[in-house]
Structure 1
């Protein structure tokens, strides 16, 4: 597709910004810009490889914001958007792009703006549906099942052991009526005059 870098959008006379007065249109346009930026393969490669550091994903969203802010002015051309994208890649990801990929994304942003201005949302809606489907396919990937290691039992086994311990029979309750008095008792004399010795657990006998 032939792209004209000089192609531009200009606000009507007396209007100082390209921002849509209709908030729904503005929101749809901002979504379209995000989808266009997320479509940029070179940027996605930089994010996936963390060329911009641990906050690479956040930097991609920041680039979307940079492009959106360009439309706060009353004139934007394709080349300005392209240069903004290329500068952001250098500043945030230390990466120089030597192909026309940024130019293609810039032209797509201009196309989206014009369509939103005419009340057409098919391009943005289609891009967003594809984006959602891609995200859903990632989140629905089969989870990894970790089998229990017999040499390294999990905490669940410990919990079962604790439950078994908790179900042990309660300790015997001491019954005073069954206790044997350890205190020696005094001599008992029977009716024949013999002294009887009391022993623990045994019946007394004569001596």
Structure 2
């Protein structure tokens, strides 16, 4: 998630709704894969951020918007911006979740979005910790390789001989009494 989701938690209904939309879209596996794979080009992450804002704006400007409208936008943007055809029900599920967040924030209920935010924060911390551990292990492995290379126990095997294959004999074509060439299949 980018700067929008790493910002401090929201304080009013509109901010909570924006946070909920951002969390829902960042947790959508189809969009996450498209962004990570740069299927939308080098600005894939910016396109996701734009989509978050576009849905928020749509919900604000058009109060009659329902889950089907949001789903249509999600499917269209995935197709147009990321060249991904969504043929499972995931876009519908994300749209329903976003509309639930809208209903909750309109009623002043922010607990579901807060919980989702806290879960996201824990996952981000775990990923960060795992990433730094991986870098430490990778660094240690590189140090060991240089120590191993300096070891005198290595035996120089010289250059391996090139593999040479003897040329196959090409079979002469068989011609029958009518002048036709017999087709022979490959032996297996």
Normalising by structure 2, what TM-score?
A: 0.64
Unmatched segments (≥5 aa) in structure 1 = 1-22, 153-207
Corresponding residue for residue 137 of structure 1: 126
Point out the structure with max Rg over C-alpha: 1
* Whole-angstrom distance in 2 between the partners of 1:78 and 1:132: 27
Q: Are 1:48 and 2:44 an aligned pair?
A: no
Deviation at 1:151, TM superposition (A): 11
SS of 1:79's partner is helix
* Whole-angstrom distance in 2 between the partners of 1:104 and 1:74: 20
* Whole-angstrom distance in 1 between the partners of 2:98 and 2:88: 18
* Whole-angstrom distance in 2 between the partners of 1:150 and 1:123: 53
SS of 1:140's partner is helix
SS of 2:81's partner is helix
Q: Select the residue among 75, 78, 98 that pairs with 1:89.
A: 78
SS of 1:57's partner is helix
Corresponding residue for residue 103 of structure 2: 114
Deviation at 1:104, TM superposition (A): 0.7
Higher strand share: 1
* Whole-angstrom distance in 1 between the partners of 2:97 and 2:75: 15
Tell me the number of residue pairs that the alignment of Structure 1 and Structure 2 aligns: 131
Q: Select the residue among 76, 92, 95 that pairs with 1:103.
A: 92
Normalising by structure 1, what TM-score?
A: 0.58
Corresponding residue for residue 25 of structure 2: 37
Corresponding residue for residue 189 of structure 1: none
Q: Are 1:64 and 2:64 an aligned pair?
A: no
Q: Are 1:147 and 2:143 an aligned pair?
A: yes
